[in-house]
Structure 1
Amino acid sequence: MITHQRNYQENPRFRAHRILLGMHTISLINYKGGVGKTTLTANLGTELAFRGYKVLLIDLDPQASLTFSLVFPSVWDKDCRESRTIKNWFEALTNNNLSLRFADLIVQPAKVNKRIKDWGGAGSVSLVCSHLGLISLDMELAVLVIGANPRQSALNFLQTHTHLRSGLESVSDDYDFIFFDCPANFNISTQSGIIASDFYIIPAIPDYLSILGIDQLEVQVKRLVEDYNHYAEFLEDRILINPKRLGVVFTMLSLYGKSPIAVQKAYIAKVRQKHIPYFNSFIRENKTVYGIAPEIGIPVSLQASNKKNNQLVRAELENFADEFLKLINQKIRKTNQYPTCEQKT
């Protein structure tokens, strides 16, 4: 029997934060695969939608795990494969197809949005699906960057890397948050997501290999921003980028009581010693709870259950969403003075 259903309207904690007006774009990135990027993207996105926000999720990973977490493969094959994926958007650049509208690629995951509505949520989740063909397309995009001289190379770089951001400008009034689920590499699709982002989050398991890549990832992001802003000097209408790091989110934690086990605590301490900011909220490992979510097409944040483990996992996701909203608001306030609005109801 399904119990412990949530109702947004009756829960005041979901209106505890004030969030800034406007659309905010966030990339979830890490060199290492299997660290929970997709799980975090799906659950944060749907949690915010339940709280009243309009959310767009963009799957930039050719593995398409986010896509198939929200859309059944049979539906994708019938409705999306040929003409409604992010691959089509990047292909339009290689084919010089100026007629494609970004809005035409967006789908509405029916099952998730029905659950949000049934539970009294006021927001919605939209999705741009991925495609396995992104792997080879990424190489084609790299060729486009080559130019006959430095100026032409710079212009080619800008045209290629801003293509995604340009598409989002046409739908900016339709969404409060856009999340990019990036692949475990730093190819053009990932770079395009970062360039289109206001912020980025680094999901990481507190272990040797996951932590090892964080420093190098930060170096690559900094270099990308510097290169982009340098090339932008060739344009009359220069628009510089400055994606801000929100922090590391520790995922797949093994807990002893309510705390991470000793070996994971040690790696968390190493991140702290490097003065790398991280979220206080964490996501525990639970293959049973998280494993079934893609099969049923409903992320854990929208699953109802009377089982203690399910409730604990969902509570962690709610805490992370709370901290995310608070932190993103603080980050924006430091550099801008915008009007605020109460969290949507």
Structure 2
Amino acid sequence: MEIVAVINYKGGVGKTTVTSNLAAELAFRGKKVLVLDMDAQASLTFSFVTPDFWDNVLEKNCTIKSWFDAISNGKEPPSLRNFVYSPMPVNKWVSKEGGKLDIICSHLGLLNVDLELAILLSGASLQQSKNNYLKIHGQLRRAMKELAEESDYDVVLLDCPPNFNIVTKNAIIAAEKILIPAKPDYLSTLGIDYLQRSVGGLVRAYNEYSEMDGDEEAIAPDIIGVVFTMIQLMGGQPITAQRQYMATVKRSGTPVFESFFRENKTLFSEAPEHSIPVVLNQYNSPAHSQVVGEIKDFVNEFEAIVGAVEDE
């Protein structure tokens, strides 16, 4: 089971579009996929379930917030399986190919979870504080290990909020790989270097404490690449301004996907209304075909890089 965190410090970079379409296309190819929405904005959640259904059925006790609440209350968190939901619209499509797409939904109340978890980090001594650090930040990692033993998922995608708080750190520590969606503009690309340095600092701190503890394994999440989004094309190529930012990121040594997501506000904004991502929609237009082709190119590249989404 491969665990991939999808993150960028900058919001509004198409992170939900990337995650939802990646998950849907992998499932359509016969993979068992779990998406975990850890962003309080819940955009990924509402890409697969309607707000009314979430409000009436899922909100009370079937979101990732409920899982974190158990930790905040000093209890052992239950299995993540208890919070999994299988959205019907998308699974009608992917089940035909033997695939599956499950989701653990987000909750607006996740905004408060970080504050509650931060209280648990303090300790009466330095050693106790370090133990608490490992315990709180490693909760999702331990839960993922249990899930791998209990389930048949090929891939888990962790959709992270645009920050580096405790919830996000749980995702990074649990992940084996990190995917960075980015719009090729000044602010979006500026955050990539800062994100890499933040991840490096987190890895060093966690591994230092885990080595002292002796019971926790070291972590080494690998940044598999930046996928550029909201690309504006002219003559089949990104416009000059965007190409310049893309080239800057490549020159920095950060891995960059050759494939990209083009700008198409109509297709991508309408898809959540039907709870089916664009890559599975049955529109019949040249624009849709081009967008879907580019998404499939990205998923091909993702599979080749990750190397774990293999046919059994």
Task: Name the TM-score class by shorter chain.
Answer: over 0.9
- Aligned match of 2:107: 131
Q: Structure 1 residues 328, 149: closer, same or farther in 2, change over 3 A?
A: same
- Aligned match of 1:143: 119
- Aligned match of 1:286: 264
- Deviation of 1:137 (Å): 1.2
- Indicate which of 248, 251, 268 corresponds to 2:226: 248
- Indicate which of 256, 259, 262 corresponds to 2:240: 262
CA deviation vs aligned residue, 1:260-318 (integer Å, no higher than 9, x gap): 00010111111122111100000001001101011111001111121011111111110
Q: Structure 1 residues 170, 253: closer, same or farther in 2, change over 3 A?
A: same
The TM-score, its normalising length taken from structure 2, stands at 0.96
Q: Structure 1 residues 99, 187: closer, same or farther in 2, change over 3 A?
A: closer
DSSP-derived class of the 1:65 partner:
coil
Distance 1:278 1:236 in 2: 36
CA deviation vs aligned residue, 1:41-82 (integer Å, no higher than 9, x gap): 100011000001100000000010000110111111122111
Task: Assess if the C-alpha contact under 8 Å between 1:28 and 1:201 holds in 2.
Answer: yes
* CA-based RMSD: 1.3
- Deviation of 1:99 (Å): 6.5
CA deviation vs aligned residue, 1:139-174 (integer Å, no higher than 9, x gap): 111121122222111111111111112222222142
Distance 1:43 1:82 in 2: 27
Runs of 4+ in 1 over 6 A off after TM superposition: none
- Amino acid aligned to 2:101: V
Unaligned runs of 5+ in 2: none
Distance 1:309 1:99 in 2: 46
- Aligned match of 1:24: 2
- Aligned match of 1:8: none
- Aligned match of 2:59: 81
- Deviation of 1:342 (Å): 5.3
Unaligned runs of 5+ in 1: 1-22, 333-340
Distance 1:186 1:67 in 2: 20
- Deviation of 1:84 (Å): 0.6
Q: Please give the residue correspondences for 1:223-242 in structure 2 after superposition, counting only pairs within 5 Å.
A: 223-242=201-220
DSSP-derived class of the 1:211 partner:
helix
DSSP-derived class of the 1:26 partner:
strand
Distance 1:121 1:79 in 2: 28
**Alignment size in residue pairs:** 310
Q: Structure 1 residues 216, 124: closer, same or farther in 2, change over 3 A?
A: same
